[in-house]
A and B are shown apart, each in its own frame.
Chain A
Amino acid sequence: MVEMIERRSALAGLLPMGAPARTDGVRIEELEDALQLQLFARNGKSGELARVVARFLKRKKPLAPLESAEQGGIFICAVGPREYWVLARGRSSAKNLGALEKVVKDHASVFEQTDGRFVIRLSGPRAADVLARGTSLDLHDPERPDAWGSHTLIEHIPALVLRHMHKSAAVYNVSVPRSYAGSFVAWLR
């Protein structure tokens, strides 16, 4: 019997990709330990789910559309009507993730997406400029909250962009279906 099966990221062999001149001022890294869940509210439970999620995030108000917030290493974004995207990192977040699943289980169906998508983090002063080469999202919209997320296309590749602030600087986590890894990295180059 086989004992160990190697887990292999979609970006294996593609990153790091060096530092092309046009991405100066941008730090690009893969979040190899990213865990991702999709939550869909059960019929008639979207209000309750919003409140449960807000309580989990220790917020007074539910998340506004496309707003995102973080608690205990877990980012939750209201990416669509009755739909939330959850991004957590590593084993330290696994326990909190379990707690989240427990509190939402009566109000939502939970779908595991971790293996289906890789997450690339872009940070640095020119991170938004790099993203703007591919996505039509307004990355500097002053009317958006500090932390937000949105499904989009990046150079025709489906992606979910999740932004949050870290030390007053914008950080973008981009979740992309794993089959597009080669094309996405080619675009990033």
Chain B
Amino acid sequence: MSGQSHRLPSGGRIDRSKTVRFSFDGRSYEGHPGDTLASGLIANGVHLTGRSFKYHRPRGITTSGSEEPNALVTTGEGGRTEPNVPATMVELHDGLVARSQNRWPSLSFDLMAVNSLLKPFFPAGFYYKTFMWPRSFWYRLYEPAIRRAAGLGTIADQPDPDVYEHSYAHCDVLVVGAGPAGLMAAQAAARAGARVVLADERAVPGGHLAGEAIEVDGRDSAAWAQGICDELDGLENVQMLLRTSVFGRYDGLTFGAVERVGDHLGNDSSGDLRQRRWTIQTRQFVCATGAIERPLVFGDNDRPGIMLAGSARHYVNQYGVLPGRKVVVATNNDDSYLTARDLARAGADVTLIDSRREKDVTGHALLPGETEVRYGQCVTQTCGKLHVSSARLADISEPDHIRSELPCDLICTSGGWNPTIHLLSHCGARPKWDSAISAFAMAKVENGVHMVGGAAGTFELQKCLQEGVAAGVAAASACSRKARKPAAPKTEKLPEYRIQPLWRLPDTISKASASFVDFQNDVTIADLELADREGFGHAEHAKRYTTLGMATDQGKLSNVNAIGVLSELRGTPIAETGTTTYRPLYTPAALGTLAGQRQGAEFRATRHSAMHQWHEKNGAVFTEAGLWLRPYYYPREGEDFAAAVKREVLNARSAVGMVDVSTLGKIELKGPDSGQFLDRLYINSFSKMKTGRARYGVMLREDGMVFDDGTVTRLADDHYFITVTTANASGVMQHMEFCHQVHWPDLDVQFCSVTEVWAAMAVAGPKARDVLSRVVDGIDLSNEAFPLQSVADARIGDAFVRVLRISFSGELAYEIYTPADCGLGVWEAIMEAGAEDGISAYGTEAMTVMRTEKGHVAGPELDGRTTADDLGLGRMMSQRKDYIGRWLSQRSGLTGAGRSQLVGLKPITNSDTFRMGAHLVTEPGTIGPDVSQGHVTTSVYSPACDHFIGLALLQDGRSRTGERVYVASPLHNEQVEAEVTGPVFVDPDGERMRG
């Protein structure tokens, strides 16, 4: 036990048979399994653990739980560095490395503490009033400087090597909090057969019982809690989630939680699971989250050595450490008498200062005879440098007059207890002021929610146990489980909890020294007074004015004290002063936990075609199309993007090329009304198209704008196969479902997505027929037997293929569809057969070049603002049938003069280039929304034309062929003169594709 100066010789619920070594600020210490970093530091006499956010005041360990506002440290090294971790929640393990934050050059000598002297210049909201002049300095100087100074720790600058995952849990009853009420609720519900999840943020069950020296059911309270926990752990219908912080409640009864799976193990090999984020869906919710103690507000109440009273006895009873030997307990309620008792039993010299009158107190009987108690007094101020050394006391009736100064090394402070109601507040429930306990509590909860124990404002242990039992039974019954109501265990008789609020001392004290309300954001009573003076006295306003309650602790210690202070300042009841709204997360969560496995390349799912492996092997550069990865181009040695694309295009135009089109959306339709259904979806007709034929089709939205395009193939009288654009595949499917289910449920048609079933490839070029004739078995591919728009089933080897003669490139082309498992084999067979004709694969960019040369529209033109007529497809719009979008497409605004129509563009000077998105203007040097007459939708270098070409949407474009316009991109300071042409640049008569 060497060096553990504050470790008691016996007691505590730690494993004294083993020693763990850890370091803080580079210095080595020893502790025991079961310790937290906070208890380990206290055991070694370390009380100074950090510096405050704004004034760099020395701070120490204030609490023993996740509400800790002061002892925030950085743990880990390298990629495992994690800042702002409460030392109270870090379980000690061998090799733990922790560092203090927000200090320079050292924790005990921090030069930035000069801020404390400058406090008068840094009141709340100072940044709203200062740094206003000169104006340009805000962005250049002030804001960067403030940002540099802000924050406590520093995040890791290396990748996090740990693994995180998500998981889902479902249950009948979720119990949050494994304190006395929560354990009882879980036990009662579980015994009734309900599926129970019991979650608690601490490593050991029992809630505050783990830190008490009282008896439950005739046993030590912690042992009793462990016994219940062991019973629950052995039940199949119970899932125990210790070390799990339920951080938020969302729609319905869905909860988010973080389980610290590996933090306490100290693993340092990468790949170990560190934390798991749970999504828990429950039918009944038992809120047994307990209560959080709040401090008293007095002068210099933030010094190291000033600790919440409940936490001090927690350290004594759970960890066997004595935080101080000369102790002042300052309180306004009876719970602190337990602290005075336990510290006195542990050997401390305790003086209890109670601001109430003696007749209002119930806890006297707990105190050992030698304990000094001063009623009607309060601590007004403290002294000390890096640790508290004395407390100045005054009568509560004359707080300006110091009656005495008590030397001490620990001040335990308690201003009462606040029910932990965050999880209910997350869904909008508003708490009400309960004057009996001087705290906010939930007066009413919705069906399926049960508040028990401290969370419900019940601070008597026996009642907590009873409430837990009742809630467990009620929750199980609500899930149709037959539950018997067992009797709650008996506890030792404890004094009744009474409180008399004490929000603040007179102005003279708060002006003479800093009286902190919010430790983490350095908000004092003076700041609240200023906020109130300036009209920000409502709790919600004051929060934003002063940043009170905005730090990672979410105001767990400060909010109620602030509301009490504001209430007095405003002279209004607390209920009228307002409350702030707690929002998720209850406690901070690592970003890695929220991301889970979705990191790096797996940030989102990717989709690969059946031929993806071939593309990778042949050096494809990929581009994203939705979730799909598609080959963009296939560079060969020495080729850049432009050279590769040019080669691919020229090869397809002069010989033969092949492109993977598996990503096209594919939908199969069956049923006698399939043709009629398609007639109503598309602007052109398909019900009379012959079997074995394919045709291009266009769909409109209800508002008459083009929605999607693709091919429709008739495979049998009642069987169609359609392709839709890659990016819009799911949208078209939803549109079809909507039309069928809502508009035309009478049509006997069934359809489903078969996108994944078929691998697809387009073989294009003058030698396409020669190549395919070598491998395709079962059909005559000659022009006479298999003309444009033909469809037939055939085989390549033993693989089934469906061959469509259609062309997007403008060349003689065939689309080959084959079951996806055969996709790679068929692709390789065609490649092999085409080798002697110089076949090569081409990517999506070459495909774009060729479709642009042919004036075919695609995504950039189908931008949701174009009609079929705008795109030159008006003649496809049937006049003999009704279809989605027909009537609205005839609105005058969509048919009159001035519509932007599809045209081609070519530069006057062949070497000029222009960009997609560039504007079309008629006068050089002009640009602006009022002079723009259109924009470039697609621009590519055309190997066939040997210069750039483009497609554009130009006002009344079709009547302006031959006109000269200026293609302007003011963002790039570019302007190029171009000629308006028809949209087809290559083979305008279509001889090649018909050849």
Q: Which of B166, B170, B601, B602 contacts A138 (CB 8 A)?
A: B170
Complex: A45 Cα to B833 Cα, angstroms: 48
Q: Which of A109, A142, A178, A180 contacts B671 (CB 8 A)?
A: A109
- Is A177 engaged at the interface, CB distance under 8 Å to the other chain? yes
- Is A102 engaged at the interface, CB distance under 8 Å to the other chain? no
- Is A71 engaged at the interface, CB distance under 8 Å to the other chain? no
Which residues in chain A, 7-49, are within 8 Å of chain B measured between CB atoms? Answer: 7-10, 13, 22, 38, 40-44
A8-B821, A109-B671, A179-B756 known, 5 other contacts, Cβ within 8 Å:
A113-B754, A114-B819, A115-B758, A140-B170, A184-B605
Inter-subunit contact B758/A136 (CB<8 Å)? no
Distance to closest chain B CB from A161 (angstroms): 12
Cβ contacts under 8 Å, B20 to chain A? none
Inter-subunit contact B820/A116 (CB<8 Å)? yes
Inter-subunit contact B825/A116 (CB<8 Å)? no
- With both beta carbons as reference points, the residue of chain A lying nearest to B819 in the complex is identified as A115
- With both beta carbons as reference points, the residue of chain B lying nearest to A182 in the complex is identified as B608
Most B-side CB within 10 Å, residue of A6, A108, A181, A184: A6
Q: Which of B281, B747, B757 contacts A43 (CB 8 A)?
A: B747
- With both beta carbons as reference points, the residue of chain A lying nearest to B674 in the complex is identified as A109
Inter-subunit contact A5/B826 (CB<8 Å)? yes
Listed A/B pairs (21) with beta-carbon separation below 8 Å: A1-B775, A2-B829, A5-B796, A5-B798, A5-B825, A22-B165, A40-B670, A40-B750, A112-B754, A113-B754, A114-B757, A116-B756, A116-B820, A129-B167, A132-B168, A136-B281, A155-B597, A156-B604, A177-B607, A178-B610, A179-B608
Task: Decide: A5 near B820, CB < 8 A? Known: A22-B273, A42-B750.
Answer: no
- Is B279 engaged at the interface, CB distance under 8 Å to the other chain? yes
Inter-subunit contact A5/B822 (CB<8 Å)? yes
Complex: A44 Cα to B748 Cα, angstroms: 9
Cβ contacts under 8 Å, B750 to chain A? 40-42, 108-109, 111
Inter-subunit contact B610/A10 (CB<8 Å)? yes
Task: Decide: A116 near B754, CB < 8 A? Known: A2-B796, A8-B610.
Answer: yes
Inter-subunit contact B281/A138 (CB<8 Å)? yes
Show the binding face of A for B, using Cβ within 8 Å: 1-10, 13, 22, 38, 40-44, 108-117, 129, 132-142, 155-157, 177-184, 186-187
Cβ contacts under 8 Å, B628 to chain A? 179
Inter-subunit contact A136/B168 (CB<8 Å)? yes
Cβ contacts under 8 Å, B748 to chain A? 42-44
Which residues in chain B, 793-813, are within 8 Å of chain A measured between CB atoms? Answer: 796-799
Q: Which of A3, A9, A13, A142 contacts B797 (CB 8 A)?
A: A3
Interface size (B, Cβ < 8 Å)? 56
Inter-subunit contact B797/A2 (CB<8 Å)? yes
Is chain B's binding surface mostly helix, strand, loop or mixed? mixed
Distance to closest chain A CB from B614 (angstroms): 11
Which residues in chain B, 705-746, are within 8 Å of chain A measured between CB atoms? Answer: 745-746
Cβ contacts under 8 Å, A179 to chain B? 607-609, 628, 756
Complex: A118 Cα to B597 Cα, angstroms: 22
Inter-subunit contact B606/A111 (CB<8 Å)? no
Inter-subunit contact A42/B166 (CB<8 Å)? no
Inter-subunit contact A183/B797 (CB<8 Å)? no
- Is B169 engaged at the interface, CB distance under 8 Å to the other chain? yes
Inter-subunit contact B756/A181 (CB<8 Å)? no
Cβ contacts under 8 Å, A10 to chain B? 610, 820-821
Task: Decide: A109 near B168, CB < 8 A? Known: A116-B820, A179-B756.
Answer: no
Complex: A155 Cα to B595 Cα, angstroms: 11
- Is B866 engaged at the interface, CB distance under 8 Å to the other chain? no
Inter-subunit contact B775/A132 (CB<8 Å)? no
Q: Which of B279, B606, B825, B829 contacts A183 (CB 8 A)?
A: B606
Distance to closest chain B CB from A13 (angstroms): 8
- Is B882 engaged at the interface, CB distance under 8 Å to the other chain? no
Complex: A24 Cα to B750 Cα, angstroms: 43
Cβ contacts under 8 Å, A22 to chain B? 165, 273
Q: Which of B605, B797, B819, B829 contacts A180 (CB 8 A)?
A: B605
Cβ contacts under 8 Å, B607 to chain A? 177, 179-180, 183
Distance to closest chain B CB from A105 (angstroms): 11
Cβ contacts under 8 Å, B777 to chain A? 1
Complex: A187 Cα to B608 Cα, angstroms: 16
Inter-subunit contact A136/B796 (CB<8 Å)? no
Task: Decide: A155 near B598, CB < 8 A? Known: A2-B775, A5-B825.
Answer: yes
Distance to closest chain B CB from A81 (angstroms): 10
Inter-subunit contact B602/A186 (CB<8 Å)? yes
- With both beta carbons as reference points, the residue of chain B lying nearest to A130 in the complex is identified as B167
Cβ contacts under 8 Å, A6 to chain B? 822, 824-825
Inter-subunit contact A116/B281 (CB<8 Å)? no
Distance to closest chain B CB from A174 (angstroms): 15
Q: Which of B167, B273, B745, B821 contacts A115 (CB 8 A)?
A: B821
Distance to closest chain B CB from A23 (angstroms): 12
Complex: A186 Cα to B163 Cα, angstroms: 13
Distance to closest chain B CB from A133 (angstroms): 5
Complex: A5 Cα to B833 Cα, angstroms: 13
Inter-subunit contact B798/A156 (CB<8 Å)? no
Cβ contacts under 8 Å, B758 to chain A? 115-116
Complex: A135 Cα to B281 Cα, angstroms: 12
Which residues in chain B, 591-623, are within 8 Å of chain A measured between CB atoms? Answer: 596-598, 601-602, 604-610, 613
Inter-subunit contact A4/B757 (CB<8 Å)? no
- Is B889 engaged at the interface, CB distance under 8 Å to the other chain? no
Which residues in chain B, 639-697, are within 8 Å of chain A measured between CB atoms? Answer: 668, 670-671
Distance to closest chain A CB from B152 (angstroms): 33
Cβ contacts under 8 Å, B774 to chain A? 1
- With both beta carbons as reference points, the residue of chain A lying nearest to B745 in the complex is identified as A43
- Is B195 engaged at the interface, CB distance under 8 Å to the other chain? yes
Inter-subunit contact B825/A7 (CB<8 Å)? yes
Inter-subunit contact B820/A178 (CB<8 Å)? yes
Complex: A111 Cα to B819 Cα, angstroms: 13
Cβ contacts under 8 Å, B44 to chain A? none
Complex: A34 Cα to B949 Cα, angstroms: 50
Inter-subunit contact B670/A178 (CB<8 Å)? no
Cβ contacts under 8 Å, B195 to chain A? 140, 142
Complex: A187 Cα to B603 Cα, angstroms: 11
Distance to closest chain B CB from A134 (angstroms): 8
Cβ contacts under 8 Å, A137 to chain B? 168
Task: Decide: A155 near B166, CB < 8 A? Known: A5-B797, A111-B668, A179-B608.
Answer: yes
Distance to closest chain A CB from B739 (angstroms): 15
- With both beta carbons as reference points, the residue of chain A lying nearest to B752 in the complex is identified as A111
- With both beta carbons as reference points, the residue of chain B lying nearest to A113 in the complex is identified as B757
- Is B244 engaged at the interface, CB distance under 8 Å to the other chain? no
- Is B933 engaged at the interface, CB distance under 8 Å to the other chain? no
Cβ contacts under 8 Å, A38 to chain B? 752
- Is B755 engaged at the interface, CB distance under 8 Å to the other chain? yes
Q: Which of B170, B273, B613 contacts A141 (CB 8 A)?
A: B170
Complex: A187 Cα to B823 Cα, angstroms: 25
- With both beta carbons as reference points, the residue of chain B lying nearest to A112 in the complex is identified as B757
Cβ contacts under 8 Å, B609 to chain A? 179
- With both beta carbons as reference points, the residue of chain A lying nearest to B170 in the complex is identified as A138
> Which 8 residue pairs are nearest across A and B when measured between Cβ atoms?
A116-B756, A179-B607, A5-B825, A116-B757, A109-B670, A5-B799, A2-B797, A40-B750
Distance to closest chain B CB from A51 (angstroms): 18
Complex: A111 Cα to B748 Cα, angstroms: 15
Inter-subunit contact B608/A133 (CB<8 Å)? no
Cβ contacts under 8 Å, B745 to chain A? 43
Q: Which of A111, A135, A177 contacts B670 (CB 8 A)?
A: A111
Cβ contacts under 8 Å, A8 to chain B? 610, 821-825
Cβ contacts under 8 Å, A142 to chain B? 195
Distance to closest chain A CB from B858 (angstroms): 21
Cβ contacts under 8 Å, B169 to chain A? 132
Inter-subunit contact A5/B829 (CB<8 Å)? yes
Most B-side CB within 10 Å, residue of A22, A109, A111: A109
- With both beta carbons as reference points, the residue of chain B lying nearest to A111 in the complex is identified as B752
Inter-subunit contact A135/B168 (CB<8 Å)? yes
Inter-subunit contact A3/B798 (CB<8 Å)? yes
Inter-subunit contact A43/B746 (CB<8 Å)? yes
- With both beta carbons as reference points, the residue of chain B lying nearest to A108 in the complex is identified as B750
- With both beta carbons as reference points, the residue of chain A lying nearest to B600 in the complex is identified as A186
